A and B are shown apart, each in its own frame.
Chain A
Amino acid sequence: MSQAIVDCQNLIKIHKQGNLEVVALHGLDFKMARGEFISVVGKSGAGKSTLLRILAGLDLPSAGKVSVADLSLTDLSQRDMTKHYRRRVGFLWQDFNRNLLPYLKARQNIELPMLLAGVGGRERKKRARQLLEATGLQNLAHATIHTMSGGQQQRLALCVALAGEPELLLADEPTGELDTETSLEIYELLRALNHEGLSILVVTHDVVLAKRSDRVVRLADGRLASQGAGEDYHVTVDPTGAVALPRDLLLAAGIEREAAAKLTPEGILIERREES
């Protein structure tokens, strides 16, 4: 077993729309280590969602190689692809309506993938209970979907995605329809899962949240633009002058409670300041 759970080599995807050909991925080379938490960012049309769909097995590349958990997705039969959905990957879509079956109750939604995978009833119930507890939804096990808030639904969707104990969790804008606080909760949850060993690949527009991942991968025009530390962080400045910096950036810089700001020719430098 290699260390890389995702391995894309020279990945090309061309969408055909009538006579028009749109190149979504332009020879992408990308690897993801097991247990890694990666955020993929980039402008619209950069190829983020295409990459995610290919990794999920929902779409096939036009050329190049892609493997997930040492399994080449380009050669999979329909049956193997179903196994891929059941055991290797879990999905989390932005629109939580699309993550859940509205006519099933919370626990039944979690049990559904296991039921489809042939997991026994007792095991299903046990796993569902664990997931509900892990996401703090234990009191909503018998709730119907439409009675749950957006955050609860997305947490439930996360449970459903994890029900099959996948090796890789793929999330497409999982917080796109959530407020900042709930988004943070979801990210915390993802981070916690990652700490338990789950590999996570998240497509997001939110750079701040992206910085909470181990690695941020930027796509531009279907290619890898940059990745890893040293990358610029986008921060916001409110009218009162307050600057919100990503927590991991602060941690990396050794800043805890206080910092020193200094004007330089390039801009403002924020440095660690010894506690007085």
Chain B
Amino acid sequence: MRLVTYMGLVARRIWSKRGILVGSLLGATLVTALLAIVPLYEASVQAVDLRFTVRGATSDTVDVGVFVPYRDYIPGVAAGNSELVADRADALLSDWYPERVERVQSREVVVIPLNFDWYGIAELWRDNIATAIEEELDPEEWPLPPYPTPPREPTITRILTSPDLAERLVVLAGAMPTAPPNLVADPAQPVAMALGEDVARIMGVDVGDQFLLRPFSGLQQIFELVEVAAIVEAADPGDKLWGIDQPGSMFYMTQENFDFWTTTLAVPAESDAWLREARGFVGIAATQRWTMGFDAETLEIEDLDSIRASIAQFRADVARDSDGTLAANSFLPQLLDKFDVRSVVIGAPILAILALVVGGALYFLIYTAALTLEREGPEMALLRTRGASSWQTVGIHLAQSLVIAVVAALAAPYVARWLVGLTGRVPPLSDLTGGQPLEVAQRRPLQPFLIGGAALTFLSMGLAIIPFARRRVLELRSLAARPGGKSVWQRYNLDLFAIALSLVVLFQISQRGFINFSGDEAKLDPLAIVFPVLLLFTGSLILLRVLPWLLRLIGWAMTKARSMSLALPGWHLGRNPIPYGRLALLVWLTTGLGAFALTYANTLDSSFTDRASFATGSDVRIVGEGAGYLEAPEGATAAAVLRTSGAPRNVRSRQAETLAVRPADFAEVVIWRDDFGGAPEALFASLRPGGPPDVGIELPALATAVTIDGVVIPRSWADQVELDLEDEDQAMRLLMRVFDSRGRVWTMAADEDWVDYEWRTATVDLTGGLNTNYLADPEPPLSIHSVWVERSGSVGADLLIDGESLLVRNLIVETDTGPLSLEDDFEELAPTNGFNLVDEVRADEAVRAFYSEVPPGEATPTSAERATSPLAASGTAQLWGLPRVRTRSNPVPQLRRVPDPISVLLDGEQAAQAGLTVGDRGFFTIAEDIVAVQMVGFIDQVPTMTDARTTGLIVTDLDGLSAYINGEARWSHRTALARVESPGELWIATDDTDAAIRQINAQYPESDAPDQILSLKASEAEVSSRPVQVGLVAILFVGAAVSVVLALAGVTSYVLLAVSRRTREMGVLRALGFGRAGVAATFAIEQVVVLGLGAVIGTIGGVALMRGMLPFLQLGETAIDIQPSVRLAVAWPILAGYLLVVGALLIGSVIWATRRVSATRMSEVLREVER
């Protein structure tokens, strides 16, 4: 009874203080609801993510497939297996796999057309057999039956059946045979089958046509006469029944017919031309397959464990019950495992932020509880003097706290669900939910969170009473009029200890990481969740330490003002700064949370953009063979990029991703971040210290062809006769490697061979090349990089040379304005790889060689004959000598421009591997070619260079590298001599992505397209629309909003209390002649200074907190570090806007609360003064 009375007292207290306690109740509900939101929101966002994940997965990933191969298909066994699968699937999978498709497909069957008279031959054979019997020949001497054999290029197909086949086919002609035939009545009747329309067209058959069919790997005598009963097509070509097969290319039988014809069917031998006693596709190999179609809409987040368990159980059951013959599989569990890892990794910051918001709300609760208790000091004193013991006083408050905590716990689930649902209605989650409330999902029970929330709120409100209850009555009476002094923390320097402890814990967390992996399973370190709260707590303690000093300083400065409205608050702040700690702390928490949320969201957003930029590299990136040579879209800037691999030439080296770029172009298009390695212009310009590389003999812009007179120095006349050489045996073709103005490498061949029986002019047409996929002709000016010759009969891999020598002269380049000599220019080219260049030999060397030995019986030629020989020439010529064997396997002996070492930028790892530093030279293997390099600088990261198989990165000059690796001929021109490492990427900087892509596509021939078109726009959309990321941003804004609401409530309460506490002081001021407005202004200025200080420190703290949280973002959703690293991105304008709004609201609340100052009557004030 007494308890009832007590509770009645508590109820009356609560009711009488409902105004104040509503704040506590709101705070308690908020804390509990926020805790309840943790599982709900996490599960709900995951549910959206899950839906996206499973919807986006291909059906072969999410479906459950069961498979059994039969070497000898037996219908009874297949039916048993079918029953088993149906039974287990219905029991275990039907919730998520409503659709079950079953099919049996034979192994290949071969069509044997009847365009050959197999039956006539068989009849003949039967006659022969009859004769043999009559002649009583030994059966071993009987002729073998002439079983039909397939043609050399037969039609091979498969027979497919399914229990509900007829429903899945559309009959185009004829009728689908359904009932099995009556072989008793007509043992010779053919097998009726339906043919897919494609195979029917290929075979050229129609309904009623017949052919023979035999299993590809069956016995010779197993074949049947088939009649086309129907031509069909798939009712739904996307039906899972067809799997990966083309439904138009198969034969079809109903299940009943298939089972009938795959059974041994006894028939009278005389009814068969080959005297077979049985019919049917006996022993046919087949596969039976069931596909359980997954319905993504049925999978709820709560089902994850059960669906995994069900699939595992299903697999185990069918394997066990079929003695291991049935194999069931699905990749859904693996997909869900990955989803779980991603959920944990991405969920971590959500939980941490929620913990932060809960921490903030909890502080608000303690704050309001303390304020309430201070107001209740006199009442507590009264209770004490009326005989209430300490415990009775505590009990009343604890009961009150308990009531609030219980009410909060009861209301919290609804509030939490409403809030979670609400996030779906507002951006950014509304983009994913279509503006509908977020569907609330639940994976974990709410009760622990509700109990936890209730306990937290109860403790934070209830425990505050204990120190109050121990106070003396007089102290209690003065509480409402005089705020407390230093907190316990500071009084005993516990805060310094706590700060030190927090720092140690923070260090520990930063060392441990926040996610632990055990195999594929990711687990969140619970300590990491409190990480932000710990940071906030530490920050609060530091703030409370330094705030008095700051306020004293500000107060001192204010006292220097002439205005009393400034000086008075200054004195007040300076004299007694400690009580302001609580208000400042509240504002710091509010602005801190807001600044944190906004900075977090901005950093996340900035990271999305960075990641998208890093993945794309520029606004648009085109990938495909020769893409680097595409025309830049109108109004856009483009840069060709060659991506390959390279490594230093030493034993320890590991392959590095290598990018070859044109420095100026690349610097202009690449989306760069200054932490990648400095300003891009200067960085990449260092790749070309001496300007563009000199790739060869630069031809005049108007050059159209190069002509060179040449002759192969023949074998002697006698050798030729002896070897019986034909004219063309010694024909040699001139080839060139030419670079055009766009850096494209062309292999150009002369139009005519040089031969060993006459001088010929070989003309190399400069307007086209061999074996290229370039979309446009060479663009002048051109540069000849290398020149070589090979026997024109060269085919395949071998370059046929055998120590030939040639004489060349009149090296001319034809231009529109006339011919120009190339004699001097060719001297720049160095002979390589055994090529021998002898300048200035006699031009009649070919004649001399031919007549050096005359065949027996032939007359030695006269001088006149020599002079008139087609091999004759006057003057001098260059002698080109080819080696007898090539010195290396690949490179072709040639005249070429030996390139200078190319410049490279290396990351630290590659530089260390190569043992290089800036300025050093060395050798690298790049694109399988040995290249001399000079290191010109360091580079840390380059967008798109994320190949996990490589270590480190190399960036070099495209044209320099191209001259190195493409200038060297390697192969016969008839095959891949033109093997060119062409820049396979085009990076484009544009303002109009869509237009740029359209223009790029237009450059491709019809039915062709680049391999990949990547755009920043698409990448950004992809990255930033992931539900978990979006959910994270949403919760951040919820956090910021909650903090503002709490701050408003808290500041208003504080100011109201402060006003009531200081009525006396205001009365004195009024009595001294201060006007109402002046007193109110004095009071407001004081509060605003504290608010401002709290806001400034809060903003700094919030940003610092975000800095501390960066590791949470650094780990991507696949638990791999995000590239590029996440950088703190403070949105100062948004932050300033937020502070302005919060500032305006808080100042508004201060002014509203201080209205009471000016509204107080003088008489009341004076009475207060008299006390």
Interface residues of A (CB under 8 A from B): 53, 56, 58-59, 78-79, 82, 85-86, 91, 98-104, 108, 112-113, 115-118, 121, 160, 163-164
Contacts and interface: CB of A to CB of B under 8 A. Distances in A.
B385 A58 contact: yes
A190 B1150 CA distance: 47
17 contacts: A56-B385, A85-B384, A85-B385, A86-B387, A91-B385, A100-B382, A101-B382, A103-B12, A103-B15, A113-B386, A113-B387, A115-B2, A116-B386, A116-B387, A116-B392, A121-B2, A121-B5
Contacts of A85: 384-387
Given A58-B473, A101-B379, A118-B2, A112 B386 contact: yes
Interface string B4-34: 0110010011011100000000000000000
Contacts of A102: 16
Contacts of B389: 78-79, 82, 116
Nearest to A114: B387
Contact of B12 (A104, A118, A160): A104
A86 B384 CA distance: 9
B12 A121 contact: no
A58 B472 contact: yes
A91 B6 CA distance: 23
B390 interface: yes
B9 A115 contact: yes
B378 interface: yes
A116 B383 CA distance: 9
A117 B6 CA distance: 12
Contacts of A58: 385, 472-474
Contacts of B2: 115, 118, 121
A100 B385 CA distance: 11
Contacts of A101: 379, 382-383
B1 interface: yes
A102 B383 CA distance: 12
B192 to A, nearest CB: 95
Contacts of B379: 101
Contacts of A59: 472, 474
A101 B10 CA distance: 12
Nearest to B384: A85
Nearest to A53: B474
Interface of B: 1-2, 5-6, 9, 12-13, 15-17, 378-379, 381-390, 392, 472-474, 477
A102 B385 CA distance: 16
Given A78-B390, A121-B1, 15 more contacts: A56-B385, A58-B472, A82-B384, A82-B387, A82-B390, A85-B387, A98-B477, A101-B379, A103-B13, A103-B16, A103-B17, A112-B383, A115-B2, A115-B6, A116-B389
A99 B387 CA distance: 13
A191 B473 CA distance: 28
Nearest to A94: B1171
A271 B12 CA distance: 59
A98 B386 contact: no
The 3 A-B residue pairs whose C-beta atoms are closest, nearest first, are: A103-B16, A86-B387, A113-B386
Contacts of B5: 115, 121
A164 B387 contact: yes
Contacts of A99: 382
Contacts of A116: 383, 386-389, 392
Given A82-B388, A85-B384, A160-B386, A112 B1 contact: no
A104 B388 CA distance: 16
A178 to B, nearest CB: 15
Nearest to A56: B385
What does DSSP make chain A's interface, helix, strand, loop or mixed?
Answer: helix
A105 B2 CA distance: 18
Contacts of A100: 382
B574 to A, nearest CB: 16
B519 to A, nearest CB: 59
A113 B17 CA distance: 21
A16 to B, nearest CB: 13
A170 to B, nearest CB: 10
Nearest to B4: A121
Nearest to B379: A101
A104 B9 contact: yes
Contacts of A164: 386-387
Contacts of B16: 102-103
A99 B477 CA distance: 12
B474 A117 contact: no
B500 to A, nearest CB: 32
Contacts of B474: 53, 58-59
A251 to B, nearest CB: 35
Nearest to B396: A116
Contact of B387 (A103, A104, A117): A117
A113 B5 CA distance: 13
Contacts of B383: 101, 112, 116
Interface centre among B13, B381, B388, by most chain A C-beta atoms within 10 angstroms, is B388
B750 to A, nearest CB: 109
Nearest to A112: B386
A58 B1 CA distance: 31
Contacts of B384: 82, 85
Nearest to B11: A103
A108 B8 CA distance: 10
Contacts of A112: 9, 383, 386
A101 B392 CA distance: 16
A79 B614 CA distance: 72
Contacts of A163: 386
Contacts of B12: 103-104, 108
B15 to A, nearest CB: 7
A101 B393 CA distance: 14
Contacts of A121: 1-2, 5
Contacts of B477: 98
B74 to A, nearest CB: 89
A78 B471 CA distance: 11
A102 B379 CA distance: 10
Contacts of B381: 98
Contacts of B13: 103
A100 B386 CA distance: 10
A210 to B, nearest CB: 21
A102 B378 CA distance: 12
Nearest to A109: B386
A224 to B, nearest CB: 23
A265 B740 CA distance: 140
A104 B385 CA distance: 17
Nearest to B476: A58
A121 to B, nearest CB: 6
Nearest to A144: B16
Interface centre among B12, B381, B382, B472, by most chain A C-beta atoms within 10 angstroms, is B382
A91 B388 CA distance: 14
A57 B549 CA distance: 39
A99 B386 CA distance: 9
Contacts of B388: 82, 116
Interface centre among A56, A108, A115, by most chain B C-beta atoms within 10 angstroms, is A115
B10 to A, nearest CB: 11
Nearest to A115: B5
Contacts of B386: 85, 112-113, 116, 160, 163-164
A104 B8 CA distance: 10
Nearest to A111: B5
Contacts of B9: 104, 108, 112, 115
Contacts of B15: 103
A58 B476 CA distance: 11
A113 B388 CA distance: 7
Interface centre among B13, B385, B392, by most chain A C-beta atoms within 10 angstroms, is B385
A26 B389 CA distance: 32
A59 B378 CA distance: 15
A74 to B, nearest CB: 14
Given A112-B9, A115-B2, A115-B5, A98 B378 contact: yes
B378 to A, nearest CB: 6
Interface centre among B1, B6, B384, by most chain A C-beta atoms within 10 angstroms, is B384
